[in-house]
Chains A and B, each alone.
Chain A
């Protein structure tokens, strides 16, 4: 069965009323200039930033979920990654080694001081950290911005595979036109706080 996500009249002082309906059979990409509110929109959908209006997952309002459960279901991945503890293993505890392999990462990286990991390694680790909650919606804010083409494609493959396996709803923010061509998505544009298809 398809999972569905519905955004109903979502409003924030920095963007107008936004409505959007999608499900796990689709792939949505949001494009738009920097500062147009794309990241903010994703954060509002993850209920990390207050916004009026409602968001429903499989017809159930976010208000019927405990906040932490909503965010485990609707997972948000920020463009910049942030870490606590000394190594990635302090926040990653439940991942499959095949997934590390898919992302061209060695298991030892989990125990390497996080400050010594490259930006690209941290970005791939953050994707794995998000997926360990098995979210049903993935809000991905430029998840491959710091990666070379090989690793970008590896991430895309992992995300597509995950989405199929978990019937996950996908919303990406990206500036990469080649990536958009590879994802075959429905493209929405965000400009001056207005979202148009």
Chain B
């Protein structure tokens, strides 16, 4: 494998800087957010690189467990913060966390134990990248689903209340909105699966091929990952949308948008 020097990365960074300068010259106003995002990428990835190097050298279950916990907590927080109308208090955070744990965490665990079957099964080289990929995608899906759910509940308040007034249960009155929310959450992964290999080469597979792995092995892993993340995103969205939809009503099946910020 050809290794990259720091100079290579600096040259790559100059592309982003050039784009930022172009933004300033054409008064497009995205230079600042572009530069901040690029800086965050560089810092966050360097830090995770150091952490992974440390954990790979000390492959103890408690280090893997600790990183898993931190990743789950951060993902739960991220899901909540990406919504326009979020549940007040901590319940939105806990719903995000519950959805991540019951989907990404559980499915990654099953994949590690029954499919990859490494010894030990929690070997960080497998566990952390797999969890990272499922979490990242499920987080996206769940955040999109919940955003669609709460946005449409606010927008369709009158229709939901009309249905309730006509004797629909809370579940019946919000069913269409729930369906739409889950569909929206699954759009990115379905698009990714449809385009995979034809229009785009998925990132993980590209990375493995660049690192010198046999393409056929890389493809098998990529297929596994695609299935895993679509299942995680779908399951996570189902859990999050159903719990959040329940929270939008009270025990007397009254729509309670006052619970949203």
Taking CB atoms, residues of chain B closer than 8 Å to A83 are 159, 162
Tell me whether A23 is interfacial, beta carbon within 8 Å. Answer: no
Assembly CA distance A67 to B164 (angstroms): 9
CB-based contact A78/B167 at 8 Å = no
Residues of chain A in range 37-54 having any CB-CB distance to chain B below 8 Å:
46-50
Q: Which residues of A contact B (CB under 8 A)?
A: 46-50, 67-69, 71-72, 75-78, 80-84, 91, 129-130, 133
Instruction: Name 22 interchain pairs, CB-CB below 8 A, sorted by A.
Output: A46-B165, A48-B165, A48-B255, A49-B254, A50-B250, A50-B252, A50-B254, A67-B170, A68-B168, A68-B169, A71-B165, A71-B166, A71-B167, A72-B166, A72-B167, A75-B166, A78-B161, A82-B162, A91-B166, A129-B166, A130-B166, A133-B167
Tell me whether B217 is interfacial, beta carbon within 8 Å. Answer: no
Assembly CA distance A67 to B167 (angstroms): 8
CB-based contact A82/B169 at 8 Å = no
Assembly CA distance A48 to B167 (angstroms): 11
Residues of chain B in range 160-213 having any CB-CB distance to chain A below 8 Å:
161-170, 176
CB-based contact B166/A48 at 8 Å = no
Tell me whether B60 is interfacial, beta carbon within 8 Å. Answer: no
Measured between C-beta atoms, what is the minimum distance from A81 to chain B in Å? 8
CB-based contact A84/B159 at 8 Å = yes
Across the A-B interface, the 5 shortest Cβ-Cβ residue pairs:
A72-B167, A67-B253, A82-B158, A82-B162, A76-B165
Measured between C-beta atoms, what is the minimum distance from A62 to chain B in Å? 8
Q: Which residues of B contact A (CB under 8 A)?
A: 158-159, 161-170, 176, 250, 252-255
Assembly CA distance A133 to B254 (angstroms): 19
Assembly CA distance A84 to B161 (angstroms): 12
CB-based contact B250/A48 at 8 Å = no
Assembly CA distance A77 to B253 (angstroms): 18
Measured between C-beta atoms, what is the minimum distance from A10 to chain B in Å? 14
Q: A84-B176, A133-B167 are in contact. Are A47 and B162 (CB under 8 A)?
A: no
Taking CB atoms, residues of chain B closer than 8 Å to A48 are 161, 164-165, 254-255
Measured between C-beta atoms, what is the minimum distance from B8 to chain A in Å? 57
Taking CB atoms, residues of chain B closer than 8 Å to A72 are 166-167
Taking CB atoms, residues of chain B closer than 8 Å to A68 are 164, 167-169, 253
Measured between C-beta atoms, what is the minimum distance from B246 to chain A in Å? 14
